Structure 1
Amino acid sequence: MSRFSFLLLLCIMSFGFQSHAQTASKWSSGFDWTKRAAAREKGRWSLSDWLAIKEKNQMMDQWLSLNSPSPYELMLGGSYLSYDKHVQDGSSPDKSATSFSGELAAYAQFVGLGLEYANINPENYSDLSGMFNLRLLGNSLQNTGFTLSYGMRTRDMTDTPATKLRQQFGQADLQLYLTKHFGLDIKYRYFLPTTNDQLGDVKEDYSEAGAFIDFKALRIFGAWYKESQKLTPAGSTVETITDRTGIKSGIKIFF
């Protein structure tokens, strides 16, 4: 092979390699099958992925169950009552007295039951109240909340003549935290009018406003309260109004 022929062959081979490289480069710039495969791989579902997600969800559920507050709540409280009794028509003298009361409340999320007992020895009667509570605002007994209640109170009077007075009532209770540990509590209870054989027609309402301080599960509270009772004996149009106004103080324990 002559030198001229050899040089011509090298030129042809060099031109062919260059043309092939340009064609390959042009093809790769327009379509990259490896990128599409990688994209499909990212969205691929597999059994191992599903098992990993399931295990992760189980661990999250376990953590939430251990760290979330229980939907069940219990409160136990005791109070000391110091009050003045005043009869507006002057049929009996004013008097000051003291007594004790206790209360119990149990909640499951936003519904609950309550029980109250007060032994008013100076006036020879005791009160037992049961109620159904519906919490419209708030998620616990130790949080800002608004609660409506409906219940029944039975007043057992042992004085002469002995009698029992049963009254249904509705109640609204607003609890407002001003800081993390200090707050206000405002309550109003309205008793439905009823008729008693010995007392005649009975109307009554109850108001309470106070403040409290929380020390973790312990609450110390104090409140001003007023109970107003109106009695109209059978066959009479004269209404006797009795007010009991005083201070209520005590403690509550939350479970």
Structure 2
Amino acid sequence: MSRFSYLLLSCIILFSLHSEAQTASKWSNGFDWTQRATKREAGRWSLTDWLAIKDKNRMMDQWLSLNSPSPYEFMLGGGYLSYDKHLSDGSVADSAHSVINGELAAYAQFVGVGAEYSNNTNENYSDLAGLFNLRVLGNSLQNTGLTFSYGLRTRDMTGTTVTKLSQQFAQADLQMYLTKYFGLDGKYRYYMPVSNDQLGDVKEDLFEASVFIDFKALRIFGSWVREKQKIKAPGGTDEVNTERTGIRSGIKLFF
């Protein structure tokens, strides 16, 4: 064997021994299979983990059910309205009229229903109204919000003749808190024009602006109220305009 061949064979043997030593070092240090096994273990899914997560979610649901506000709300209120009655020519027909009224409402999240009743002994009529309410802004009755309503009001008049007047209406109610306990409330109601056998053609709208202060679940409020009514007698051409303006005060309870 020549010296060159001997030297080449020696280099090949030394390189093979060095490679085997490096491979053995990698395996002995856990570089290859130990680290890969650790990564696989970290991403492993097991039945025990699933049961632990399920139990944790159940505890979170219980906590949320105990600490979340109820989706149901209720309101009960009552008030007293003192007003003056003005005729078409601007004169005061009568003064110091009074009306006693009550109202209630029930909500399930942003949808609610309501009812109103008022009794006017001076003008010999009573009103009963039902409302369907849709809250488009705000999350509770005691928060800033905007509510649209649609309803039906029935007025029973017991003067010389008994007359029943039913009118559908649309309403917008904007409530705004200026502080945590004090706020403003504006309401506009438009009654759909109707024709009545005794009264004739009737048109009407209502505007109410209120200030209020809350004490926990109790609200005390005061309102300026203006109601406009236009009546054209059957077969007639003259229209009688009546305007009622006054102050309404009362309380509301929220549940």
TM class, shorter-chain normalised? 0.7 to 0.9
Q: Which letter maps to 1:186?
A: G
Give the 3-state SS of the residue equivalent to 2:59 in structure 1.
Answer: helix
Residue 91 and residue 164 in structure 1: after superposition, are their counterparts in 2 closer, same or farther (change >3 A)?
Answer: farther
CA contact (8 A) 2:84 2:92 kept: no
Please show how residues 149-168 of structure 1 align to structure 2 within 5 Å. Answer: 149-168=149-168
When residues 19 and 132 of structure 1 are mapped into structure 2, their CA distance, relative to the original with a 3 A threshold, is closer
Q: Which residue of 2 aligns with 1:8?
A: none
The secondary structure found in structure 2 opposite 1:59 is: helix
* Structure 1 residue 94, shift from structure 2 partner: 3.1
**Aligned position for 1:213:** 213
Q: Match of 1:160, as an amino acid?
A: T
| CA distance in structure 1 between the aligned counterparts of 2:69 and 2:209, rounded to whole angstroms | 29
Q: CA deviation at 1:89?
A: 3.4
The residue that corresponds to 1:4 in the other structure is none
Q: Secondary structure at the match of 1:93?
A: strand
Name 2:181's counterpart in structure 1: 181
In 2, distance between residues paired with 1:247 and 1:84?
10
Structural RMSD (CA): 2.1
1:31 is displaced (CA, Å) by: 4.0
* Distance in 2 separating the partners of 1:192 and 1:18: 100
| 1:1-255 equivalent positions in 2, closer than 5 A | 24-25=24-25, 31-89=31-89, 93-255=93-255
For residues 9-37 of structure 1, the C-alpha deviation after alignment (integer angstroms, 9 at most, x for no partner) is: xxxxxxxx999765544667894321111
Could you state the TM-score of these two structures normalised by the residue count of structure 2?
0.88
Question: CA separation in 2, counterparts of 1:93 and 1:225?
Answer: 17
The structural deviation recorded for 1:91 is 8.6
SS at 2:64 equivalent:
helix
Query: Any gaps of 5 or more consecutive residues in structure 1?
Result: 1-16
CA contact (8 A) 2:149 2:171 kept: yes
Letter in 2 for 1:46: S
Distance 2:87 2:189 in 1: 21
- Select between 83-92 and 221-230 the one with higher mean Cα deviation: 83-92
- Of 227-236 and 86-95, more deviation after overlay is shown by 86-95
Query: Secondary structure, in 3 states, of the residue corresponding to 1:123?
Result: coil
Cα distance, 1:116 vs. partner? 0.1
Q: Which amino acid aligns with 1:108?
A: A
Judged with a 3 Å threshold, the aligned counterparts in structure 2 of structure 1 residues 92 and 201 are, in CA distance, closer, same or farther, namely farther
Question: Residues 69, 26 of structure 1: CA spacing in aligned structure 2 closer, same or farther, 3 A cutoff?
Answer: closer
Unaligned runs of 5+ in 2: 1-16
Identity %: 72
Question: Deviation of residue 51 (structure 1)?
Answer: 0.6
